[in-house]
Structure 1
Amino acid sequence: MIRYLIEVMAFQLGFLIIYDLFLKKETFFQWNRAYLIGAFSLALVLPSISLPVFRATVAPDTLLYPHFLIQLDEVVLGAGGEASGDTLPWEFLIPIVGSVLALMWFVFKLVKIWRLHLQGELKVHFDHNQIQLPDSETAFSFFKNVFLGDRLTGAQKASILKHELVHVRQWHSLDLLFFELMRVLFWFNPLVYIYQKKTSELHEYLADTGSGVPKKEQYQLLLSETFGTRDISFINPFYKKSLLKKRMDMLRKKPSHQLKKMKYLLLLPLLGGMLLYTSCETEQPVDKEKQATLPGVTVIDENSVEFRFSGEDFTAEDERNALKDLIFEHLDDKERFTIFIKGQEGNPYGIYSIQNGSAFLQRKADDTPNKILPMDGQTQTVGVPFSRVEKVPVFPGCENDTDPRACFQREIQKHIRENFRYPEEAQQQGIQGRVSVLFTVDTDGSIANVRLRGPHKLLETEAARIISELPQMTPGEQKGKKVQVPFAIPITFKLSSQANNDKTVQRKPIGRMRVLGKMDNNGHYKGKVTDSKGLNLPGVNILATNSEAYAVSDFDGNFSIEVTQGEQLGFSFSGLPDYEMIIE
């Protein structure tokens, strides 16, 4: 979030510099008005835009795969049985409090306008409403309402009304209201106030040039300094002392030549640079000194190292851990990184190729079996993918719901909260943490194949009890036959007294998925899925695009799936971006 806000402000500042240096002195007021509003809005979405044509590093596009093992939203439960959410971090709390205060101030200003509306004498016209304010010299407009004080002379009212009607016809209040709402959301961004001020200036230039009032008469009105003002940021006041000189300068200025509109083309290289920045993927620098100190590692060049183990076989735990550290160090590399693994006598043992979040083990020429980082995941029978089953399982009470999937999630979370009891022994011992639960809705609608993994048996037992009490459901169907459909849900047990500082609560997955694995002799790719920080991910959906084989990772993130070389694998996990890799 912080990076997004910094990028937004940087882009807005870039657009603003172009405006101040090249555009603001021109008389293309409508163009400048569109530029300011468009540039501000564009800066809000630019950080999320990534165009392949601008990417500095070419990588395969990420394919999106639907979840076939549905991952239900996490349920967080407190010791009193009530739902307990995570404590909102201060870096989010401060902006929210500021926005609430800004919203209150915005509402207060709206109330001030409404009170003036009630105090004045209303005259309804075809294209506007004229409101005469008693004992006042005020002159301003807000949408179709033109407010004029009764102390103004008839000649002044006539000239001012022509001026304010330009604001009404061109909907200038809508521009200012947009920026006022942006001030509520981004009250901490000083550029919002600058953009609003500059847009307000353009409104006055447009009204001055479009009112039809002779320039001499406008000069006299502006210099009279007899008009009252209102401290409301989203109205169009006729008189504003800070704008006096600028408005008179613009009235004297000759219209800009049409060729000067070519200046707006300066936006193109600036926009191109911004898109190039947002499309680039940052590579993490490799700490070569740290890399060279790992046991058995010899740096060959920046994209390859030699890893030599001791003994006749690769069994030493510290050496295996060192190799894992080395692999994870380079998982995000955009260029291929190679690890040449050799035995004590320098004989080749294997080669690891690492690139774009995946590591592939290339076997020796004679295909001699090896024991490098064996994976223990087993092929699992997971039923019919949830996204492909013709009739999804139905939770009791959801039979007539228009969205049975969403209804299923609501009802199962409701069931967990209503049946939850924090084990007293776990409370006394200060035990808390996340229990990962995998289960299947069987062909008879019952809950089967329940698997749990948590920080303590007490929490696992309670989670198992809750899941076992799920009601009988209507089973899923595929081609007229009842089938199994798998589900996964994390249940977090949290003690309120320790919620903010106890490190036993397992953190949530962050970043993106990483895959480490290899092909075996039987045509299976065996691997492990983790997040960016190495946290094992249970319940990851793995789909082979060609053969349509599928698997689900176990509690340690291990999986095994039957594939062929060159085939694509898609990985889906709730809360992280989908991931795609090609088996080499």
Structure 2
Amino acid sequence: MLYTIIQIIAFQTLFLLVYDLFLRRETFFNYNRTYLLLTSVLSLVLPFVKFPKLKKITTNDVVIQLPEVFIGTKVPTANEIFIAEQAGIIIEQPQTPIWQSIALFGIALAALIFLFKIGKLYVLKFRNPKRWQGNVLIVKLIKSSAAFSFFNTIFLGERIPERERPIIYKHELVHIKELHTLDLLFFEVLRIILWFNPLLNIYQNRIKELHEYIADAKALKQNGKVEYYQSLLNQVFDVKNVSFTNTFFKKSLIKKRIAMLQKSKSKQRQLIKYTLLLPLVFGMLIYTSTEVRAQVKSVVEQEINSDFSNVESYTPTSIQVKPKVKQNVNQELTDAELIKKYYNELVAMKKNGASFLEIAKYADIGTENSEKYLLSKGEFLKSKAFMQYVVEHMSARKSEKGTLTTEDFQTFEKLTFDKHKTYLDYRAWKKTDEAKEHWESYSRDGVLRLFVKEIGNQSAEEKELFDRLLKQLENDDYEKIIMTDGKSTFVVNDYKSPEQNEVIESIEVPFSVVEEVPTLVECKDLMSNVDRKDCMNQFVNKHVNKNFNTSLADSLSSGRKRIFIQFKIDTLGYVKAIKARGPSKVLEEEAKRVIKTLPQFTPGKQKGKLVVVPYSLPIVFQVAGTNSTETKVSLEELVAQRDRVLKNSSEDNPVVIRLNRQIEAVKKNKSVNDKVDELTKYLKEELNKTQKDSIQLQNIPFSVVKVAPVHPDCKTLTDEEQRKCTTSKVNMHVNKNFNTNLANELDIRGRQEIFIAFTINKEGYVTDVKARAPHKELEAEAIRVIKKLPQFIPGKHDGENVDVPFSIPVTFQVNNTKKN
């Protein structure tokens, strides 16, 4: 609140400075009146207006708020009072802060003064004779020479000479017709609420000054200047000191009024001064939109040691070090109370019309938290609340359909069961080798993960493993490396080794973009490159499934396992440079063995020339649990074994009893698995539904989008011709504008290739331009050229404008002759 008040006073100061320096001496009285009224309102509104897009104009600062330090007695929070009451402890209720008491007292006193002034006016009105003249009530003040107006009432002193009364009447009549009393009452109300703000007195004085100028200017048209001046100078100033009345005789204003009457009319070009308001308001909006207020108190858990000795020999282009921050989330509540609180918030979001995707995003499901090693307490408890919400939502839906059974209740209970009942249990599990192995192996495509004992002090083995990951990152198939020790996180988004900056005679083109993919003889005759890609993928997948020895994974912990394989198909069609990353060395070697058995392929081509094609393949398989013997035996085998025993025995036989128990356990597990499949199906349906309703969130590639973006020179052609024409126009634009002499200036020789990627957004503008080249200056030149492309006709998918990614390779030959 205090910060908002300071902003209001600061904004009013700036508005008044502009008025006094540039506008006050101009004769645009009505414009000035509008300015004062408008800026007084803006000063109250702007502190609460925030435009997130304006935040991009300024640099984003990182603000870390330290823990609170209480001086004196800490005021108990509402949660502390509630918990104490439940425990039977009497705790002192929080008192109203002293500043609130002072503010309320000031408002009450200012309101009493205002009511006193109103009372004085009505006493004058009822104690003095009065008469109506049209819609105006004229009150004759006995033994007074005052003259002022209030709404439609004009107060005239009986001592005012008869010859001057018509002039004064016309003057006060202008105040009534122009509703000047409303202006003064508006500022009077502001003075009551913000009684401590002296700038409102200045505002009110400026507006009263303008009222007199406006009334003088209109009254002067009906009377001569000399006569009007005489009426101003010849009066005895018996003025009622009421701040919200328009007074004809006021000593401090008469000199200014006469000076303004003598001033020549301002020229129209002076109106340009009012445009000063635009940059002033825009600057205030930037300030209010970029202010940072900490919503969650946080402390830095550990400082990062940035001395990565194993990275010094490399030149990563984008490295981020993220300190792990521990959030202080509702420390007064238990885990169970917080889960209930988050669950209620999810239910409230559903009632307010939030989509399933929005609810999942609020619960931090499917966000960047999937890459975190250790979730915060709030994130962990939100995920548990989300699972409870999903299960109860499914239960309600089944109940409405009349398909809810007792077995469903048992299944839902098992689905919501978590071996980490509390956040402390979860943190303890994260310290185990099982958790570390699970985090490394559970990785999405394009992200490599590594857990180390201590960032900045890695062992020789950890450094060697990190070097291997850096080498993998050099290829386009991987986006980044995430390394963590559970406390701090080290992220490498891009990496180039010194060798990569040298000219490479053998060009590599990723499998996803190469014009003619490597393939088999039986796939070579297929019509399209897409069909040949599918044929190649199916063959590799079948080959791995057929030859991979999955029994090698039996020694691993149960759960889903992944092995990432990468290899290259050279210009002769042979497989080389095989790399594998998996949960164990044995599985990595097995993956390499299987890939080495692949046959010779027909090599890939780009622009009619043979090229090396990198290929990546994730292998995913499920390792069954080793602790439960019941799950290893099929239901049919158990039933058959029990029937064989029953032929020569009875139901009371201990062997039969044990077999019956095993059969029941297998049935229950099968039921749970069925319900898990049902839950997965439900989640997919919800997400698919949300994705269909929110197609604007998707990026549709140029080759897939139904209506591709169109270059302005190609809009008269057919759809297929427009695609070819747009691609041709982009190529011509690059050929025409790219500075090929730059390679000579950088002393780069041989064949050079630049990969450029950008997005044509929903408005048709080029955004997110990126380039990969042997030299930074070549990348900068490529980005400069692409940014000069004109506005396109945006692409459409299912009738909606969408963002369309576009990529283009730039290849040129630099002669080997050196410059003199």
Question: Structure 1: which amino acid aligns with 2:20?
Answer: D
SS in 1 for 2:306: strand
SS in 1 for 2:148: strand
Report the Cα distance in structure 2 between the residues aligned to 1:481 and 1:219, rounded to whole angstroms.
Answer: 94
Aligned to 2:227: 217
| Residues 32-54 of structure 1: CA deviation (Å, up to 9, x unaligned) | 00100101111110111122442
Report the Cα distance in structure 2 between the residues aligned to 1:139 and 1:385, rounded to whole angstroms.
Answer: 78
Out of 137, 146, 152, the position equivalent to 1:144 is 152
Deviation at 1:192, TM superposition (A): 0.4
Provide closer, same or farther for how the CA distance between residues 371 and 268 of structure 1 changes in structure 2, counting only shifts above 3 A. Answer: closer
Query: Does residue 1:156 correspond to 2:161, yes or no?
Result: no
- Report 1:127-276 matches (<5 A): 127-211=135-219, 212-276=222-286
Q: Does the CA contact (< 8 Å) of 2:58 and 2:290 recur in 1?
A: no
Report the Cα distance in structure 2 between the residues aligned to 1:385 and 1:82, rounded to whole angstroms.
Answer: 40
What is the Cα-based RMSD across aligned positions, in Å?
A: 4.6
Deviation at 1:298, TM superposition (A): 3.1
Report the Cα distance in structure 1 between the residues aligned to 2:111 and 2:371, rounded to whole angstroms.
Answer: 60
Aligned to 2:371: 362
Report the Cα distance in structure 1 between the residues aligned to 2:51 and 2:250, rounded to whole angstroms.
Answer: 45
Aligned to 1:352: none
Q: Does the CA contact (< 8 Å) of 1:119 and 1:134 recur in 2?
A: no
* Larger proportion of helix: 2
Aligned to 1:527: none
| Residues 359-401 of structure 1: CA deviation (Å, up to 9, x unaligned) | 73637xxxxxx77879864735656999x99xxxxxxxxxxxx
SS in 2 for 1:360: helix
- Report 1:26-105 matches (<5 A): 26-56=26-56, 86-105=94-113
Report the Cα distance in structure 2 between the residues aligned to 1:269 and 1:362, rounded to whole angstroms.
Answer: 43
Q: Does the CA contact (< 8 Å) of 1:299 and 1:306 recur in 2?
A: no
Provide closer, same or farther for how the CA distance between residues 155 and 362 of structure 1 changes in structure 2, counting only shifts above 3 A. Answer: same
Report the Cα distance in structure 2 between the residues aligned to 1:372 and 1:38, rounded to whole angstroms.
Answer: 49
Q: Does the CA contact (< 8 Å) of 1:297 and 1:305 recur in 2?
A: no
Query: Does residue 1:379 correspond to 2:384, yes or no?
Result: yes
Provide closer, same or farther for how the CA distance between residues 113 and 545 of structure 1 changes in structure 2, counting only shifts above 3 A. Answer: farther
SS in 1 for 2:130: strand
SS in 1 for 2:25: coil
Larger radius of gyration between Structure 1 and Structure 2: 2
- Report 1:94-133 matches (<5 A): 94-133=102-141
TM-score, normalised to structure 2's length? 0.37
Q: Does the CA contact (< 8 Å) of 1:162 and 1:213 recur in 2?
A: no
Question: Structure 1: which amino acid aligns with 2:2?
Answer: I
Deviation at 1:85, TM superposition (A): 6.8
Provide closer, same or farther for how the CA distance between residues 362 and 251 of structure 1 changes in structure 2, counting only shifts above 3 A. Answer: same
Q: Does the CA contact (< 8 Å) of 1:297 and 1:306 recur in 2?
A: no
Q: Does the CA contact (< 8 Å) of 1:139 and 1:227 recur in 2?
A: no
Report the Cα distance in structure 1 between the residues aligned to 2:683 and 2:231, rounded to whole angstroms.
Answer: 74
- Report 1:137-536 matches (<5 A): 137-211=145-219, 212-282=222-292, 294=302, 297-298=305-306, 304-305=320-321, 323-325=324-326, 360=369, 362=371, 377=381, 379-380=384-385, 382=388
Aligned to 1:474: none
Deviation at 1:220, TM superposition (A): 1.0
Provide closer, same or farther for how the CA distance between residues 548 and 122 of structure 1 changes in structure 2, counting only shifts above 3 A. Answer: farther
Report the Cα distance in structure 1 between the residues aligned to 2:41 and 2:683, rounded to whole angstroms.
Answer: 39
Report the Cα distance in structure 1 between the residues aligned to 2:380 and 2:368, rounded to whole angstroms.
Answer: 16
Aligned to 1:402: none
Percent sequence identity over aligned pairs: 36
Provide closer, same or farther for how the CA distance between residues 9 and 373 of structure 1 changes in structure 2, counting only shifts above 3 A. Answer: closer
Aligned to 1:454: none
| Residues 69-97 of structure 1: CA deviation (Å, up to 9, x unaligned) | xxxx9897798999997422122221111
Greater Cα offset, 89-98 or 24-33? 89-98
Provide closer, same or farther for how the CA distance between residues 371 and 202 of structure 1 changes in structure 2, counting only shifts above 3 A. Answer: closer
| Residues 16-38 of structure 1: CA deviation (Å, up to 9, x unaligned) | 11111111111110110010010
Question: Structure 2: which amino acid aligns with 1:362?
Answer: E
Provide closer, same or farther for how the CA distance between residues 224 and 54 of structure 1 changes in structure 2, counting only shifts above 3 A. Answer: same
Report the Cα distance in structure 1 between the residues aligned to 2:200 and 2:403, rounded to whole angstroms.
Answer: 60
Report the Cα distance in structure 2 between the residues aligned to 1:306 and 1:138, rounded to whole angstroms.
Answer: 74
Q: Does the CA contact (< 8 Å) of 1:56 and 1:279 recur in 2?
A: no
Q: Does the CA contact (< 8 Å) of 1:140 and 1:235 recur in 2?
A: yes
Report the Cα distance in structure 1 between the residues aligned to 2:230 and 2:157, rounded to whole angstroms.
Answer: 18
SS in 2 for 1:298: coil
Report the Cα distance in structure 1 between the residues aligned to 2:57 and 2:391, rounded to whole angstroms.
Answer: 34
Report the Cα distance in structure 2 between the residues aligned to 1:479 and 1:240, rounded to whole angstroms.
Answer: 81
Aligned to 2:25: 25
Question: Structure 1: which amino acid aligns with 2:286?
Answer: L
Uncovered stretches (5+) of structure 2, i.e. residues with no partner: 61-77, 309-315, 329-363, 405-435, 444-681, 688-696, 699-820
Report the Cα distance in structure 2 between the residues aligned to 1:282 and 1:50, rounded to whole angstroms.
Answer: 11
Q: Whose RCO is larger (CA < 8 A, sep 6+)?
A: 1
Report the Cα distance in structure 2 between the residues aligned to 1:83 and 1:133, rounded to whole angstroms.
Answer: 62
Deviation at 1:242, TM superposition (A): 0.6
Q: Does the CA contact (< 8 Å) of 2:369 and 2:375 recur in 1?
A: no
Report the Cα distance in structure 1 between the residues aligned to 2:684 and 2:26, rounded to whole angstroms.
Answer: 60
| Residues 160-190 of structure 1: CA deviation (Å, up to 9, x unaligned) | 1011000010000000000000000111111
Aligned to 1:10: 10
| Residues 518-575 of structure 1: CA deviation (Å, up to 9, x unaligned) | 997999xxxxxxxxxxxxxxxxxxxx999769xxxxxxxxxxxxxxxx99xxxxxxxx
Provide closer, same or farther for how the CA distance between residues 481 and 324 of structure 1 changes in structure 2, counting only shifts above 3 A. Answer: same
Report the Cα distance in structure 2 between the residues aligned to 1:195 and 1:24, rounded to whole angstroms.
Answer: 12
Report the Cα distance in structure 2 between the residues aligned to 1:120 and 1:373, rounded to whole angstroms.
Answer: 76
Provide closer, same or farther for how the CA distance between residues 56 and 138 of structure 1 changes in structure 2, counting only shifts above 3 A. Answer: same
Provide closer, same or farther for how the CA distance between residues 251 and 116 of structure 1 changes in structure 2, counting only shifts above 3 A. Answer: same
SS in 2 for 1:135: coil
| Residues 275-320 of structure 1: CA deviation (Å, up to 9, x unaligned) | 1111214499xxxxx97x947733679974488xxxxxxxxxxxxx
Report the Cα distance in structure 1 between the residues aligned to 2:218 and 2:321, rounded to whole angstroms.
Answer: 72
Question: Structure 2: which amino acid aligns with 1:242?
Answer: S
Question: Structure 1: which amino acid aligns with 2:269?
Answer: L
Question: Structure 1: which amino acid aligns with 2:5?
Answer: L
Q: Does the CA contact (< 8 Å) of 2:46 and 2:284 recur in 1?
A: yes
Question: Structure 2: which amino acid aligns with 1:256?
Answer: S
Deviation at 1:135, TM superposition (A): 1.4
Question: Structure 2: which amino acid aligns with 1:46?
Answer: L
Q: Does the CA contact (< 8 Å) of 1:122 and 1:131 recur in 2?
A: yes
Q: Give the number of aligned pairs.
A: 343
Q: Does the CA contact (< 8 Å) of 2:304 and 2:321 recur in 1?
A: no
Question: Structure 2: which amino acid aligns with 1:228?
Answer: D
| Residues 388-445 of structure 1: CA deviation (Å, up to 9, x unaligned) | 99xxxxxxxxxxxxxxxxxxxxxxxxxxxxxxxxxxxxxxxxxxxxxxxxxxxx99xx
Provide closer, same or farther for how the CA distance between residues 7 and 546 of structure 1 changes in structure 2, counting only shifts above 3 A. Answer: farther
Q: Does the CA contact (< 8 Å) of 1:299 and 1:305 recur in 2?
A: no
Provide closer, same or farther for how the CA distance between residues 373 and 232 of structure 1 changes in structure 2, counting only shifts above 3 A. Answer: closer
SS in 2 for 1:147: strand
Report the Cα distance in structure 2 between the residues aligned to 1:385 and 1:91, rounded to whole angstroms.
Answer: 49
